[in-house]
């Protein structure tokens, strides 16, 4: 059986002030072609389908068209991420099941696996854990107010459900795949991901997913493997299909193919995603940047320029735009500068723990350490704001 793992589409997102919807649509058309060419049996989408809880209409249309193309080849299994509204994304989920679009957006859906099988006798159960805000689920799951605890409680439910599954005539247990969205086991982050930590606690250990064969993760935009115990599952972030900040400049974007048989090890292949527009950071004097023929090939790239003139030139961005039509950021950094200077134009996305920001503010203003009770109240306020934003 062959699965394709992807995540973090962020439909509706812009790169600085430039819309990416056309590039996102191109990726999804390419993805549908890959599913046909590689005989994919199911597509796994591990959250952050949209970029915000209330997506723009063009993003909704792009998703509708993409799902129509994908299900013509194979089922699609999706979970909401921290950018999605589970209510909106999950609307009509029971009806969409009949159309081979399997949305797993609620707590009840955690123990509602998608059962798949093939002619070779492979039995597969695919479970989806929607992004879990601890404040919203701690009473139902009986967990602590951390993402790690919420994921652990969800996995206990899944392991119990797997034990209840009936065996078939082969006597072999089913293979188990889990979709989840969050930070696991020291994954490398970028500036593009929204911080989800609560009081600095966001990361779940790899052992959380013991008992699975493959864990299809979303949230982190760099494709990467998470180390687990020798007998543990394969745990992988497929990463985002497009770069959403210059912190992803060196990423090689990909989707992941997983082949599994009734028994034995899984085989995995990463397929590079076509790059619609490259990211490049160029450094030099304004004269060099505007005239060097070696830079002609970057006219259609997303450009970040570091200008090194000893005296700040006039009209820097205007002159750079004449050379680079897609320049999105610029910093003036003269040779004597000891550190980076602020970028002109819109700042890049910055991920910061809001609780840590408030703690630093309290200590700066009062010259005393923030108490544990203060930080607990800030934690709760942050979670309530996130829930209100998600469900509005």
Domain C-terminal end among 256, 272, 288: 272
What is the residue whose two structure tokens read 């013509």? 72
Residues 168 and 284 in one domain: no
Phi first, then psi, for residue 271 (nearest 5°) are -110, 120
Residues 174 and 58 in one domain: yes
Q: What is the number of structural domains in the chain?
A: 3
Higher pLDDT, 341 or 263: 263
Determine the pLDDT at residue 346: 43
Residues 221 and 311 in one domain: no
- Is residue 49 a contact partner of residue 88, using CB atoms and an 8 Å limit? no
Determine the pLDDT at residue 320: 95
What is the residue whose two structure tokens read 């203060």? 374
Determine the pLDDT at residue 216: 98
- Token representation of residue 218: 């979303």
Residues 70 and 139 in one domain: yes
Residue 387 confidence class, pLDDT cut points 50, 70, 90 = low
The verdict on residue 166 lying in a domain is yes
Q: Does pLDDT of 237 surpass 90? A: yes
Determine the pLDDT at residue 347: 40
The verdict on residue 181 lying in a domain is yes
What is the residue whose two structure tokens read 């060419």? 37
Higher pLDDT, 197 or 32: 32
Residues 90 and 178 in one domain: yes
Q: What is the pLDDT of residues 10-28, one digit of tens each?
A: 999 999 889 999 999 999 9
Domain membership of residue 381 as a residue range: 354-391
The verdict on residue 163 lying in a domain is yes
The verdict on residue 339 lying in a domain is no
Residues 134 and 220 in one domain: yes
Residues 125 and 69 in one domain: yes
Residues 286 and 182 in one domain: no
Average pLDDT for 325-345: 75
Of 87-91, 150-154, 282-286, 362-366, which range is least confident? Answer: 362-366
Residues 75 and 161 in one domain: yes
Determine the pLDDT at residue 368: 74
Residues 40 and 164 in one domain: yes
- Is residue 82 a contact partner of residue 88, using CB atoms and an 8 Å limit? no
Helix ranges (H only) for the chain are: 21-37, 57-71, 86-89, 93-98, 134-141, 147-164, 286-291, 316-323, 354-366, 372-391
DSSP annotation of 228: -
Distances (CA, A) of 89 to 101, 103, 183, 221, 300: 11, 8, 21, 21, 34
Residue 357 confidence class, pLDDT cut points 50, 70, 90 = confident
CATH of the domain at 250: 3.60.21.10
- Is residue 110 a contact partner of residue 154, using CB atoms and an 8 Å limit? yes
Determine the pLDDT at residue 207: 93
The verdict on residue 345 lying in a domain is no
**Got the DSSP string for 133-155?**
-HHHHHHHHT--SSHHHHHHHHH
Q: What is the pLDDT of residues 240-249, one digit of tens each?
A: 999 999 999 9
Q: How far apart are CA 46 and CA 5, in angstroms?
A: 8
- How many C-beta atoms surround the C-beta of residue 204 within 10 A? 22
Q: How far apart are CA 289 and CA 283, in angstroms?
A: 7
Average pLDDT for 56-63: 96
Q: What is the pLDDT of residues 149-183, one digit of tens each?
A: 999 999 999 999 999 988 777 788 899 999 999 99
The verdict on residue 256 lying in a domain is yes
Average pLDDT for 94-112: 93
Determine the pLDDT at residue 351: 46
Q: How far apart are CA 240 and CA 18, in angstroms?
A: 18
Higher pLDDT, 68 or 185: 68
Higher pLDDT, 212 or 190: 212
DSSP E strand boundaries for 224-325: 224-226, 234-237, 254-259, 267-272, 279-284, 302-307
The SS3 call for residue 114 is: strand
Residues 203 and 310 in one domain: no
* Mean pLDDT taken over the chain: 89
Q: Does pLDDT of 200 surpass 60? A: no
Please give the span between the terminal C-alpha atoms of the chain, in angstroms, as a whole number.
Answer: 39
The verdict on residue 340 lying in a domain is no
- Token representation of residue 332: 């003036």
Q: How far apart are CA 209 and CA 362, in angstroms?
A: 38
- Token representation of residue 331: 């910093």
Domain C-terminal end among 248, 272, 296: 272
Residues 300 and 268 in one domain: no
The verdict on residue 348 lying in a domain is no
Of 42-46, 200-204, 256-260, which range is least confident? Answer: 200-204
Q: Does pLDDT of 345 surpass 50? A: no
């Amino acid at each position: 059986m062959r699965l394709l793992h992807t995540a973090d589409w962020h439909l509706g997102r812009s790169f600085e002030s430039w819309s990416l919807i056309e590039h996102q649509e191109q990726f999804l058309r390419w993805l549908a072609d890959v599913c046909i060419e590689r005989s994919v049996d199911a597509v796994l989408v591990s959250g952050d389908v949209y970029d915000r809880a209330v997506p723009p209409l063009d993003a909704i249309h792009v998703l509708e068209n993409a799902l129509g193309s994908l299900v013509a080849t194979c089922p699609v299994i999706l979970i909401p991420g921290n950018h999605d509204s589970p209510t909106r994304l999950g609307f009509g989920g029971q009806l969409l099941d009949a159309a081979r679009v399997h949305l797993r957006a609620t707590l009840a859906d955690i123990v509602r696996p998608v059962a798949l099988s093939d002619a070779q006798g492979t039995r597969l159960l695919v479970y989806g854990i929607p992004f879990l805000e601890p404040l919203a689920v701690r009473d139902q799951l009986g967990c602590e107010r951390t993402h790690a605890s919420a994921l652990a409680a969800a996995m206990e439910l899944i392991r119990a459900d797997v034990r209840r599954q009936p065996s078939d005539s082969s006597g072999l247990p089913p293979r188990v795949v889990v979709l989840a969205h969050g930070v696991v086991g020291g994954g490398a982050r970028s500036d593009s991901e929204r911080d989800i930590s609560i009081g600095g606690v966001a990361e779940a250990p790899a052992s959380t997913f013991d008992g699975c064969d493959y864990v299809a993760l979303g949230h982190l935009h760099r494709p990467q493997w998470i180390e687990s115990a020798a007998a543990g599952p394969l745990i992988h972030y497929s990463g985002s299909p497009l770069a959403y900040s210059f912190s992803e400049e060196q990423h090689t974007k990909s989707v992941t193919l997983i082949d599994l048989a009734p028994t034995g090890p899984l085989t995995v292949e990463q397929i590079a995603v076509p790059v619609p527009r490259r990211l490049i950071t160029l450094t030099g004097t304004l004269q060099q940047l505007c005239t060097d023929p070696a830079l002609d090939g970057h006219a259609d790239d997303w450009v970040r320029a570091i200008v090194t003139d000893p005296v700040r030139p006039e009209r820097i961005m205007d002159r750079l735009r004449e050379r680079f039509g897609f320049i999105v950021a610029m910093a003036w950094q003269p040779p004597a500068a000891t550190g980076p200077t602020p970028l002109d134009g819109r700042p890049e996305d910055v991920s910061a723990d809001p609780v840590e920001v408030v703690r630093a503010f309290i200590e700066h203003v009062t010259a005393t350490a923030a108490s544990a009770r203060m930080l607990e109240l800030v934690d709760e306020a942050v979670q309530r704001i996130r829930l209100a934003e998600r469900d509005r």
